[in-house]
Amino acid sequence: MARLEVTTTYLEMLSAEQIIPADPTELTLTEAIAPCPEFQRFLYTAVGGSWYWMDRLRWTYQQWLDYLTQDHIRTWVGYVQGTPAGYFELSQQPDQSAKIEYFGLLPQFIGQGHGGYLLTQALKTAWELTSKRVWVHTNSIDGPHALKNYQARGLAIYDQQRAIFDLPQSPPGPWPGSLRPNL
């Protein structure tokens, strides 16, 4: 384990007119309507395994199912040539805002323009859930382009917080030993 200072950055958008769209790519978007813990866990680990997404790794099947069957949670998956390339998960918050809970691409689809386009779609979809505010947070151990992508699409920083975390020497990857050396 290593002690690491992590900066969490909170961003928001207060109007759908603030979206700065990215150019479309060949990515197609489908809502994952049927609750499927296996698929959701795959997305979570495949996208977040390189970036220390670990808070849900210990969830049981029932915890995943309980989470996914909540009315205020919705997930969309981006596909490239029939292969899952990334996803975003939205939640409608008690204050009627919409939060991008999770967002990202599988490693082999990073750097091809899909992230900007997927985020554009995430923001447009989030604004269908609210007329008040869309928000998200990222941190300094997330993908190196995450913060820039959020800002490039029109989200503005409204807060930053720093905290010390005990983290493994390397991110967990989608499964043990799977982390590619070039990440």
The string of pLDDT tens digits covering residues 9-58 is 999 999 999 999 999 999 999 999 999 999 999 999 999 998 889 999 99
Is residue 174 in a domain? no
Query: CATH code at 148?
Result: 3.40.630.30
Is residue 56 in a domain? yes
Residue 176: pLDDT over 80: no
Q: Which residue has the higher pLDDT, 2 or 152?
A: 152
Q: Which residue has the higher pLDDT, 165 or 33?
A: 33
Give the number of domains in the chain.
1
Of the candidates 70, 77, 69, 72, the one whose C-alpha atom is nearest the C-alpha of residue 42 is 77
Is residue 13 in a domain? yes
Predicted structure pTM score = 0.93
Residue 129: pLDDT over 80: yes
Q: Write the secondary structure of 24-42 as one string of H (helix), E (strand) and C (coil).
A: CCCCEEEECCCCCHHHHHH
Q: What is the pLDDT of residue 177?
A: 67
Is residue 176 in a domain? no
75-102 confidence digits (pLDDT tens): 999 999 999 999 999 999 999 999 999 9
Asked whether 183 and 50 are in contact (CB, 8 A), the reply is: yes
Q: If you average pLDDT over every residue of the chain, what do you get? A: 93
Is residue 60 in a domain? yes
Is residue 110 in a domain? yes
Token duo for residue 133: 């505010």
pLDDT band at 4; cut points 50, 70, 90: confident
Is residue 182 in a domain? no
Domain containing 113: what range?
A: 2-167
Q: What is the pLDDT of residue 80?
A: 98
Is residue 121 in a domain? yes
The CA-based diameter of the chain, rounded to the nearest angstrom, is: 44
Q: What is the pLDDT of residue 155?
A: 98
Q: What is the pLDDT of residue 182?
A: 52
